[in-house]
Chains A and B, each alone.
Chain A
Amino acid sequence: MASVIDERQAEIADEFAMFGDWMEKYEHIISLGRDLAPMDESDKVDDNLIKGCQSRVWLAARKGDDGHVRFTADSDAIITKGLVALMVRTLSDAPAADIAGANLSFLDEIGLHSHLSPTRSNGLQAMVKQMKLYGLAFTAGA
């Protein structure tokens, strides 16, 4: 049975397949960034800051009574924030173990893999790593 994370990735890939060119794709990413649920200001602290070289990303995680991990996040750059929104949509509200072991292939499929490269210095790669670490920590019962 496909995990909820894989189902979401397939859904995102379908969604992006509709776009004819890069402009539409980026416009969609920007609108996802605008629509991302706001992060509590109390969570936007340095402890939750993932330092990219250029754009800053904040990430907070909580484990619910149902055993699912929920992420909230933000970024000061809107394209990064749109990509952050995709990550949150994919990984949030899923079992901790699934998050820790997730294979994120959807960025490849939608042609945005370069954004995960460390040379982009946008903090996104470090964010994915941090999300998986949260998954691991919560699996261990933290």
Chain B
Amino acid sequence: MTTPTLYDVHAIRAQFPILSREVHGKPLAYFDSAASAQKPQAVIDAQARYLSHTHSNIHRGVHALAQEATEAYEGAREIVRAHLGAASTREILFVGGTTDGINLVAQTWGRANLGEGDCIVLTRMEHHSNIVPWQMLALECGFDIHVVELNPDGTLDGDQFEQHLARGPKLVAFTHVSNALGTVNDVKHWTTRAHDAGATVLVDGAQSVPHLAVNVQELGVDFYTFSGHKTYGPTGIGILYGREALLDAMPPWRGGGEMIGTVSFENGTTYNELPYKFEAGTPHISGGIALGAALDWMNGVGMASLTAHEHVLTQHAHAQLESIDGMRFIGTAPCKAGVVSFLIEGVHPYDLGTLLDQLGIAVRTGHHCTEPLMDKLGIPGTVRASFGAYNTVAEIDRLAEAVARAAAMLR
């Protein structure tokens, strides 16, 4: 671990304009980065600069703006490729976000490869985004879904994972980091095991890319997807990485401009090469460029220092909250990233969230789009504090004090 003292959190905070605002007359303490991270000035500027200086439709244009816009957009694709350690930009698809990325895989690879008698493996900790697209497809195509349950600390039940792999699933789809529990899964290990069992592997990286250095080739995954807005970039843009051989073999999903080779009523239509085959229509150009700026910004901070800083915050939050009467942490895996989820005996999460809001503290309460997990745990939801590059130890002390104060009012 790098020394956290080298990390100048105040210099980082100063780059986020929103963090200087007040909420209910109190300084904002933002602990909801797992839902969406705030944006540094560099990202805001990149998007504004593009819109005020460079904008035009990309590709196929002969004029200067079209070329500059194309270069900026394709430049962002290269930034993403380098950030993920992918072999080629042909493997980097711009999509709407993680949800969109998973739906793309379900509707193309899934539709082409999954049928009656097949099975896939998901886990209990998946976000609805990595459950519902498969359920919808299963209804149409008739394959089975097997679910890996969790150990009491919120880690995957490895024995059961192996048992499900022994069924010979066609696909194993799981999250890198749990949005509700913070658990970091051993992607490399489970990808190897899934490949040994003959399965294709999709990993939901929505909660990992904001916190950890990710190298898709090192992990060995087939598909990896994440959202721009959780990595300090804009909403409405995200990435789907896919191994070139797989993407090549997959049929296109959405039809339209950009994704075609030639279009003819008489001779039929041919499709464009990768990655454009999957990018029908004019994309979110400014979003893609700003996503590139966001990854540049994260790399400027340094992924290792970012991970180390957030580790300190998570540890500190556990230590400070632990002493509060009735505190129950939901998710105590040895390896966690960016999230502390909890309940206080006799206190409804909604009430606690409401009072914390009055104190200027933004947390998320509820089921965090993981209803199957909450049902299994027998709880209606949790209070979740999630951390980003800009959170401070002092803010966490404020959170712990506020939770204690609110809990005393509510009990």
Interfacial residues, chain A to chain B (CB-CB below 8 A): 22-23, 26-27, 30, 53-55, 76-80, 121-122
Q: Besides the contacts A22-B358, A26-B355, A78-B348, what 15 more A-B pairs have beta carbons closer than 8 Å?
A: A23-B409, A26-B354, A54-B349, A54-B350, A54-B365, A55-B350, A55-B351, A76-B348, A76-B380, A77-B350, A79-B350, A79-B351, A79-B410, A80-B350, A121-B366
Q: With A53-B366, A54-B350, A54-B366 in contact, do A78 and B380 touch (Cβ < 8 Å)?
A: no
Residues in B with CB closer than 8 Å to A80 are: 348, 350-351
Q: In whole angstroms, what is the CA distance A80 to B351 when docked?
A: 8
In chain B between 378 and 393, which residues have their CB closer than 8 angstroms to a CB of chain A?
A: 380-381
Q: Which residue of B lies closest to A53 (CB)?
A: B366
Quick check: B350 and A30 within 8 Å, CB to CB? Answer: no
Q: Interface of chain B, helix or strand or loop or mixed?
A: helix
A22 nearest CB across to chain B (Å): 5
B24 interface residue, CB < 8 Å from A? yes
Quick check: B410 and A78 within 8 Å, CB to CB? Answer: yes
Residue in B24, B348, B358, B409 whose beta carbon sits within 8 Å of that of A77 in the complex: B348
Q: In whole angstroms, what is the CA distance A79 to B349 when docked?
A: 11
Residues in A with CB closer than 8 Å to B355 are: 26, 79
Residue in A23, A27, A54 whose beta carbon sits within 8 Å of that of B380 in the complex: A54
Q: In whole angstroms, what is the CA distance A30 to B409 when docked?
A: 8
Q: Interface readout for B356-367 with A: 1 if CB under 8 Å, 0 if not?
A: 001000000110
Q: In whole angstroms, what is the CA distance A55 to B381 when docked?
A: 10
Q: Which residue of A lies closest to B355 (CB)?
A: A26
Quick check: B409 and A55 within 8 Å, CB to CB? Answer: no
B348 nearest CB across to chain A (Å): 4
Residues in B with CB closer than 8 Å to A53 are: 366
In chain B between 104 and 144, which residues have their CB closer than 8 angstroms to a CB of chain A?
A: none
In chain B between 46 and 66, which residues have their CB closer than 8 angstroms to a CB of chain A?
A: none
